[in-house]
Amino acid sequence: MLKKIASLGATLGLAAMLVSGTASAGLAQEKKPVKIGWSAWSDAEFVTKLAAKLIKDELGQEVELVQTDVAPLYQGVSRGDLDFMMMAWLPQTHADYYSRIKDKVETLGTVYDGAKLGWVVPAYIPESEISSIEDLKKPEVMEKLKNTVQGIDPGAGLTRLSQEALKTYELGDYKLQISSEAGMLTTVERAYRSEDWFVATSWSPHWMFGKYKLRYIDDPKKALGEAEHVDVLARKGFKQDNPEVAAFMSRMKLPLSDLEAAMFTAQETSYEEAVTKYISDHPDQIKAWVGK
């Protein structure tokens, strides 16, 4: 009889374990990957891939990265199609996008401060020739620049502000060459090798300042704005649905100098290697972010 009771107890225990295991497996399957949206800007790519690796390795949650343009990013987060994005340039660059959806999103934190937009020229152009956007009106400067400002993708806030800057500074004879970040960088690389003159839209942080000797030209009318902060925007309810990741994102903040150094490493190697190196080089910072 005792053997039968022991046997029955073992059977019930095994059944309970199986039921418990099945339930746990079911819950694990129901846990959806964290969906992070990003656009192919070098700063956004690094911080997004860094966050993704830490969420997976340290918090044990799967991540799905969704690459798209800036406007769809804001729409995706506001509709709940994306959990969050890490590249909201505020208060000015993305002001239009943000104003349309601000009541449908939540701010989790600031990834970094001191972000800057502007127009850059190579250091080999004398400052006596170009020190300010106003100098682009000089006939000899216009000729050497071929009446062109090298731009990036059409949906970028920097593109909108640059178009406005052309009007503000009455540079009607110039055209903004709308392309992409990659297209702008290809033009810069080609011109820099030949020491040709160029003016290009740019921003900090960016790895290009580690590769080329460039300088921002003055913007006395502040047409391109002033220093900004880059925030993490999440869909409504994300904090409640995933408090662990939300808390992590609220703590994740990088010094601008660290970020630019990592971005340059990414260009010299790969974003994956740069992320791994950053984690290895900043153990205390990572520990503080993760909260362990």
**What does the pLDDT profile of the chain (292 residues) look like in tens digits?**
433 334 444 444 444 444 444 444 444 445 799 999 999 888 999 999 999 999 999 999 999 999 999 999 999 999 999 999 999 999 988 999 999 999 999 999 999 998 989 999 999 999 999 999 999 999 999 999 999 999 999 988 899 999 999 999 999 999 999 999 899 999 999 999 999 999 999 999 999 988 899 999 999 999 998 889 999 999 999 999 999 999 999 999 999 889 989 999 999 999 999 999 999 999 999 999 998 7
Buried-exposed string 30-53: b where 16+ CB fall within 10 A, e elsewhere: eeeebbbbbbebbbbbbbbbbbbb
At 276 the pLDDT is: 98
Structural tokens at position 221 = 């009318």
- Which residues touch 131 (CB under 8 Å, ≥6 apart)? 217, 218
For residue 74, give every residue at least 6 positions away whose Cβ sits within 8 Å of its Cβ, in sequence order, or none.
85, 88, 94, 97, 98, 100, 101, 233
C-alpha pair distances (Å), 54 with each of 59, 241, 245, 252, 262: 7, 19, 10, 10, 16
- Tell me, what's the pLDDT at 30? 57
Neighbours of 270 (CB within 10 A): 12
User: How far apart are alpha carbons 186 and 204 in whole angstroms?
Assistant: 18
User: In the chain, what are the domains?
Assistant: 33-115+228-290 (3.40.190.10), 116-216 (3.40.190.100)
- Answer yes or no: are the C-beta atoms of 244 and 290 closer than 8 Å: no
What per-residue confidence (pLDDT) applies to 93?
84
The residue to which tokens 């925030």 are assigned: 231
Cα 224 to Cα 34, 100, 262, distances in angstroms: 34, 21, 26
Beta-carbon contacts of residue 193 (< 8 Å; ≥ 6 apart): none
Q: Give SS3 for 41.
A: coil
Q: What's the pLDDT at 47?
A: 97
- Residue-by-residue DSSP string for 170-212: T-TT-EEE---HHHHHHHHHHHHHHT----EEEEES-THHHHS
- The pLDDT of residue 18 is 40
